[in-house]
Structure 1
Amino acid sequence: MNPSGLDLPPLLAAFVFGLLGGAHCIGMCGGIMGALTFTVPPSMRSPLRMGGLLLSYNLGRISSYMTAGALVAALGTLISLSLLARLLLQGLAAVMLILMALYIANWWKGLLGIEALGKRLWRHIEPVGRRLMPVVHFPQAFALGAIWGWLPCGLVYAMLAWSLATALPLQGALLMGAFGLGTLPALLATGLAARKLGHLIRQPATRTLAALTIMAFAVWQLWALNAHSGDHASSHSPTHSSSHPASHSFSHTIH
């Protein structure tokens, strides 16, 4: 992809990954959504108001994802100054996606160890969120969502690794935004719809299909990465020096 923009497939893939991670999102944030609902005074629980509060909360959560995506991508810009560093970042992103797939399928819980890395920071952030409860206003719900968006989550960390590899803040933010939008259906569903959706995405067959889809994408990324690195190496060989100048730029496989 051209580094000047972000084409649809990565954004679409990030959105689908958010959809596929719905079961995990319900487990991680479902309790928070329930608390957000039940702490609202009964006299203020109209369907329209509750829907607005839940939407505001999730928009705040997604804004935090996008902020984190932009920050790690900016860090990636500093790290990926050499071809080797770029290759390593993109390889890391693909490996993290595979770990994400294993986690969703309940085949391996290695991402739990990565989640533990964020718990120290979370201890300082969580009390701020609790002071915003009960939520009765839309800006309050947005602020709470923005805080809870930093909740340690292995799936979010896997996507942040992908944002890191883009090495462009705008692309990192858009990837995380697309991922966050993909998580919305699971977290906005309520009542009977939530039970049906939760039952569907918890089915072993559904989780296996989701995992295989993500793993296929990650393997394709690794294959493309290897192909581009091979092209780069050949362009610098003596037999290709005339047709491939040394100033030939590396094409990001993940972008």
Structure 2
Amino acid sequence: MSETYLAFMIGLLGSVHCIGMCGPLAFAVPSLQKGAGWLLLDKSMYQAGRIISYSILGLIIGLIGNQLWMAGMQQGLSIFSGLLILLAACSRIFKVAVRSSSKYNLLLKPFHQLFGYALKHKANHLIIGMINGLLPCGFVYLALAGAVNQPGVPEAITYMFFFGLGTAPLMLIAAVTSGMTGAILRNRINRVIPYFILCLGIWFILRGLDLNIPYLSPALHSGTAVCK
């Protein structure tokens, strides 16, 4: 399985969760022009905005990861990322609730102000999509854990681009059709997603263990990338 395909699948599965969390925002942004064609264009610009932000995050995390790769820390980085992903999966499987705090609400306050400004702009859907892509989100963190393990900055950007691309189809369909996917379907898929995340965490740990198993746990050599 290639890294880009994996990133796309994380985005595609995660978009079911995104419809419930970010969908209302996408549905609520008004179209400044009337007609089905303009509606589709506006909603597509919203998705493009999110993908742009994810790619920028890929650039930033790629610069960090590249320094760690050059320092020879790729094995420890992969294992650490895997452990974080396992914790995220177990929290969802065992339904460990994370309570919102006043600090979290304070963190979101600047985003609320930016949304207010963006609504008045002609490119409101693109701008709001870009802002939305920077909001705290567990699935984005999951994707960033994969991006930081990439051997270079271009690979990290590509990883996050394909993650964003994976989130786009269902989000676009839901936005244009005002929530075509029902709550029952989303709940069923959401039950499966944590187990997919669990497998992903195990895979990251195996990659870092250098077991010389092609694709699953390839041998790591100093200055070379992990087999994709």
Do these two structures clear the TM 0.5 threshold for a shared fold by scoring above it?
A: yes
* 1:143 paired to 2:127: yes
- Aligned 8 A contact 1:118 1:152 in 2: no
Residue 156 of structure 2: aligned partner: 172
* 1:195 paired to 2:180: yes
Query: 1:215 corresponds to which letter in structure 2?
Result: L
Where does the alignment leave 5 or more consecutive residues of structure 2 unmatched? 214-220
| Structure ranking higher in helix proportion | 1
Residue 75 of structure 1: aligned partner: 64
State the Cα distance separating 1:106 from its structure 2 match: 4.9
- Aligned 8 A contact 1:22 1:201 in 2: no
Aligned partners of 2:124, 2:59: CA distance in 1, in Å?
24
Instruction: Please show how residues 61-210 of structure 1 align to structure 2 within 5 Å.
Output: 61-83=50-72, 85-102=73-90, 105-109=92-96, 112=98, 122-134=108-120, 137=122, 139-190=123-174, 194-196=179-181, 198-203=183-188, 206-210=189-193
Aligned partners of 2:96, 2:64: CA distance in 1, in Å?
27
Residue 31 of structure 2: aligned partner: 40
Partner deviation per Cα, 1:67-94 (whole Å, 9 max, x = no partner):
00111110122233333x2222112222
State the Cα distance separating 1:118 from its structure 2 match: 7.4
Name the CA shift for 1:76/1:192 in 2 (closer, same or farther; >3 Å): closer
Aligned partners of 2:118, 2:138: CA distance in 1, in Å?
25
* 1:24 paired to 2:17: yes
- Aligned 8 A contact 1:228 1:251 in 2: no
Partner deviation per Cα, 1:6-44 (whole Å, 9 max, x = no partner):
xx61111111111111232012211211211xx336xx3
Aligned partners of 1:192, 1:200: CA distance in 2, in Å?
16
- Aligned 8 A contact 1:75 1:167 in 2: no
Task: Identify which of structures 1 and 2 has the higher relative contact order when contacts are C-alpha pairs closer than 8 Å and 6+ apart.
Answer: 2
- Aligned 8 A contact 1:11 1:174 in 2: yes
Q: What is the SS of the residue equivalent to 2:19?
A: helix
- Aligned 8 A contact 2:115 2:128 in 1: yes
Bigger shift: residues 194-203 or 18-27: 194-203
Aligned partners of 1:184, 1:165: CA distance in 2, in Å?
23
Aligned partners of 2:181, 2:125: CA distance in 1, in Å?
26
Query: 1:130 corresponds to which letter in structure 2?
Result: G
Name the CA shift for 1:106/1:253 in 2 (closer, same or farther; >3 Å): same
Q: Based on CA coordinates, which of the two structures has the bigger radius of gyration? A: 1
